[in-house]
């Protein structure tokens, strides 16, 4: 079943007006690149979005959803089920695990601490966590931009997706245990030499938050982001295994072709913590990224630091816990992708924060599902300008978007 509708309400209008009160921040570009004028946004292509979600389900996801917040209007599109056992239809109000979208939340907390003078981005991590890392040259900036060279321990942990997941589903790790797993392997590059996505970096980010503030990351997320923005459906519950309230079940595709998907909904996500354990909804993620790009969460200089991007490939760049993607119509969007067992998430907004998209498929370990879900960006931001074929050629999927584990080809 596919549904697509547009709605507005007094509450949404109030949120939109509060966001409009903050001036937009211009995004810095890579050295030598000329800044481009902001392009006028066409209306979202709701029929195109419905077609993409239909394809996501046809590729193997039980359900898929997309929510576009355009300031005064909200567009909701869904297809398929949230729960294969009961057959309940998925809705855009369902809670889900956001995976690596968590990294932006962690980065925001550290940028706020930098704004408060409690942290220096170019200081060695070992200044705040003495003796943690084997190289004093690794800075906070290197960690937040995936330029530390620290090996991603999840490459080994989830080399076999299902058995790896089952071995850690109910396990509780300390941050130090996860870092130690990384340090058992050689580093991927010298500090600052190259971009190399690693969950280890944002485990270190969580340790920094807790050492500097004296509080757990849950407290800092809640006090600095969740409560101020009114994110009523966003939680950090580690190490609890249950998603509270109405939620989409998440299904992990088996490593063997044809085998039944594994319901991966209940888990500690302790293997990720500050790198990937937040639970949220499409509404809350739209609100979060819009607020971030409108300058509501950091100072103007803090946001500028987040937007100092390193090129990853022809269409993707990475800043500090923040991705930038360039779409086929010339529009750039800012946000993050997320993969955790059972869930793929795309959450992006325009550089002025005026239009935001969150899209979810409740499946993982499936490259066909992931590649198709990526196509939601085009109808959301480019409207009918971009045909599906153009979206497929302009939206490559990088391996670093999909940690843990490369998805099995279907």
The pLDDT tens digits for 149-186 are 999 999 999 999 999 999 999 999 999 999 999 999 99
Residue 299 has pLDDT above 60, yes or no: yes
Rg of the chain over CA atoms, in angstroms? Answer: 20
Is the model's pTM score more than 0.85?
A: yes
Distance CA 289, CA 286 (A): 6
Per residue in 358-402, pLDDT (tens digit) is 999 999 999 999 999 999 999 999 999 655 445 445 455 544 444
pLDDT for residue 393: 52
Q: How confident is the model at residue 40 (pLDDT cuts 50, 70, 90)?
A: confident
Q: What is the dihedral of CA 371, 372, 377, 383, to 10 degrees?
A: 140
- CA dihedral sign, ordered 185, 190, 196, 200: positive
Provide the β-strand partners of residue 358: 67, 347
Is the pLDDT assigned to residue 19 strictly greater than 50?
A: no
Taking all residues of the chain, what is their mean pLDDT, rounded to a whole number? 89
Mean pLDDT across the stretch 37-52? 87
Asked whether the predicted pLDDT for residue 13 surpasses 80, the reply is no
Average pLDDT rounded to a whole number, residues 81-98: 98
DSSP conformational letter for 408 = B
pLDDT for 231 equals 98
Using left for φ > 0, alpha for ψ between -120 and 50, and beta otherwise, residue 405 falls in left
pLDDT band at residue 120 using 50, 70 and 90 as cut-offs: very high
pLDDT at res. 175: 98
For residues 211-229, average pLDDT: 98
Separation of CA 20 from chain center: 24
pLDDT confidence tier of residue 35, bands split at 50, 70 and 90: very low
The region that residue 117 occupies, defined by phi over 0 for left and psi between -120 and 50 for alpha, beta otherwise, is: left
Write down the residue that tokens 């990937």 correspond to: 276
| Span 222-231, average pLDDT | 98
Tokens at residue 298, please?
């950091």
Give the residue from 133, 145, 79 showing the smallest Cα distance to 309. 145
pLDDT at 317 over 60: yes
Look at residue 346 and tell me whether its pLDDT is greater than 90.
Answer: yes
pLDDT tens digit sequence for 253-274: 999 988 999 999 999 999 999 9
pLDDT value at residue 16 = 35
The pLDDT of residue 15 is: 33
For residue 250, give Cα distances in angstroms to 225, 318, 338. 25, 27, 13
Whether 277 has a pLDDT exceeding 70, the answer reads yes
Say how many residues make up the chain. Answer: 410
pLDDT of 32 strictly over 60: no
Q: Mean pLDDT, to the nearest integer, of 42-55?
A: 98
The whole-number average pLDDT for the span 286-313 is: 98
Predicted confidence band of residue 337 (pLDDT cuts 50, 70, 90):
very high
Cα separation of 323 and 307, whole Å?
A: 8
- Catalytic residue (one of 9, 18, 100, 106): 100
**Is 274 among the residues known to form the active site?**
no
pLDDT computed for residue 387 by the predictor:
52
Q: Is the peptide bond before 367 cis (omega within 30 degrees of 0)?
A: no
């Amino acid at each position: 079943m596919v549904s697509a509708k547009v709605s507005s309400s007094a509450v949404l209008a109030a949120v939109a007006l509060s966001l409009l009160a903050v001036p937009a921040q211009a995004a810095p570009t890579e050295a030598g690149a000329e800044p481009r004028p902001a392009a006028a946004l066409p209306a979202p292509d709701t029929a195109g979005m419905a077609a993409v979600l239909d394809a996501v389900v046809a590729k193997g996801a039980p359900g898929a959803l997309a929510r576009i917040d355009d300031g005064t209007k909200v567009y909701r599109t869904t297809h398929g089920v949230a729960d294969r056992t009961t057959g309940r239809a998925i809705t855009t109000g369902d809670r889900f695990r956001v995976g690596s979208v968590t990294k932006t939340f962690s980065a925001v907390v550290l940028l706020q601490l930098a704004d408060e003078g409690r942290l220096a981005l170019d200081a060695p991590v070992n200044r705040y966590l003495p003796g943690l890392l084997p190289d004093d040259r690794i800075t906070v900036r290197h960690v937040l931009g995936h330029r530390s060279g620290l090996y991603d321990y999840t490459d080994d942990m989830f080399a076999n997706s299902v058995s790896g997941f089952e071995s850690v589903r109910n396990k509780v790790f300390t941050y130090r245990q996860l870092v130690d797993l990384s340090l058992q392997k050689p580093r991927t590059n010298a500090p600052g030499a190259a971009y190399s996505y690693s969950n280890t970096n944002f485990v270190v980010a969580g340790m920094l938050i807790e050492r500097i503030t004296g509080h757990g990351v849950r407290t800092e997320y809640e006090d600095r982001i969740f409560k101020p923005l009114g994110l009523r459906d966003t939680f950090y519950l580690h190490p609890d295994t249950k998603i509270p309230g109405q939620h989409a079940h998440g299904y992990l595709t088996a490593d063997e072709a044809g085998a039944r998907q594994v319901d991966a909904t209940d888990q500690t996500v302790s293997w990720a913590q500050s790198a990937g354990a937040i639970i949220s909804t499409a509404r809350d993620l739209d609100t979060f990224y819009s607020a971030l790009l409108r300058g509501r969460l950091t100072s103007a200089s803090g946001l500028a630091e987040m937007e100092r991007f390193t090129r990853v490939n022809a269409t993707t760049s990475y800043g500090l816990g923040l991705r930038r993607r360039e779409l086929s119509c010339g529009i750039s969007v800012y946000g993050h992708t997320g993969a955790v067992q059972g869930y793929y998430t795309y959450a992006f907004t325009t550089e002025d924060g005026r239009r935001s998209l969150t899209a979810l498929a409740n499946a993982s370990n499936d490259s066909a599902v992931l590649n198709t879900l990526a196509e939601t960006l085009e109808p959301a931001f480019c409207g009918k300008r971009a045909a599906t074929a153009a979206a497929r050629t302009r939206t490559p999927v990088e391996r670093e978007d999909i940690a843990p584990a490369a998805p099995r080809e279907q």
